[in-house]
Amino acid sequence: VAVQASASKPSESGIRMNSVSHSKKQHFDTNAIHAGQDPNQWNSRAIIPPISMSTTFLQKAPADHYGFEYSRSGNPTRNCLEECLAALENAEYGLTFSSGLAATHNVTHLLQTGDHILSFDDLYGGTNRLFRTCVIPRGIDVSFVDCTDLKKVEANLKPHTKLVWIETPSNPLMKVVDIKAVCELVKKKNSGVLVAVDNTFMSAHFQKPLLLGADIVLHSLTKYMNGHSDVVMGALCTNNVEVHAKLRYFQNAAGAVPSPFDCFLVNRGLKTLHVRMERHMENGLAVAHYLEKHPSVEKVLHPGLPSHPQYEIAKRQCTGFSGMVSFYIKGGLKRAKTSSATSKCFHSPRASGESRAWPSSPR
């Protein structure tokens, strides 16, 4: 009898699990393949979740549906992906959006005029722009703080602080924030303050912010989670039922949801996430070690290098490292741009976490 071996690992008992339910006890690799994918949810019993492109669904009677009514409010293909993402982040709930910034913007709607966000000062440029040009004009105060310094975090917490926003490792300087320490500090000062962590650069494979005390995890699924440069999408995961209810309401009300086809592509990408991330880590460390010894390089920033300022924190809170490497070239920005432009191996796109190597310099 020929048997197709699964790419997932067997359970500790040595028996390969057949259950496809969302289970936090199953191995990451197994959940990536099976969570949310139960063939019995489809009349066809399809092993690969079908793409449900329908905008609307048959109802028993007006306002009396079978679970789906309109694809903005919920879609079978999207539900599969959201359940799988939740399983990978050890979360109860997952929500997807048309981009990572749409997901970030959705979180800011948990706040009201007069509230305060304490944000990391080293951020993805799109997040920084969103906070400065779209959130602050709504009457929400935003402070940009070095969250690697707990004293600065504590000093900048205010009575009206409602959200702490962390990105770790950060873009572009690869700073690592001690998620557990920040969460403990914030919750001790005010248990009602939410802590959100942008986990894009590590992916769910190497870092689990919710297990370290965070309330919300954000992903730009465009990057490592999808991994193939063919989708723009974002996601939020949480264990807080009240936060989830509000985020889900805003998801539907604002309507920035992904297409079923894009959900299918990301769902497919997740099946190889664990394999891809291990290779990204291997390649990233090799490049980082090479650059550290290069005479034209002034400094290399990679959390897996002992020379990194937060190396011990990274080892403690992460199970591995991505392929992201930041470094300073001697000669400044002009020399850096020349090096990028004359490279024979690198392309120059504006996205990360895919199969190609790429250079980028801060603007």
Contact assessment for residue 236 and residue 247, using Cβ atoms and an 8 Å cutoff: yes
Q: What is the DSSP letter of 164?
A: E
CA distance 227 to 353: 6
Catalytic residue list? 72, 124, 198, 223
Contact assessment for residue 203 and residue 218, using Cβ atoms and an 8 Å cutoff: no
β-pair type (116-120, 161-167):
parallel
For 227, phi then psi, to 5°, come to 80, 10
Which residues, other chains included, contact 354 with Cβ-Cβ below 8 Å and sequence gap of 6+? 223, 227, 228, 229
CA distance 157 to 119: 10
Residue with tokens 């979360």: 91
Which residues, other chains included, contact 22 with Cβ-Cβ below 8 Å and sequence gap of 6+? 31, 35, 36, 83, 84, 86, 87
- The DSSP H or E segment spanning 290 is helix 273-292
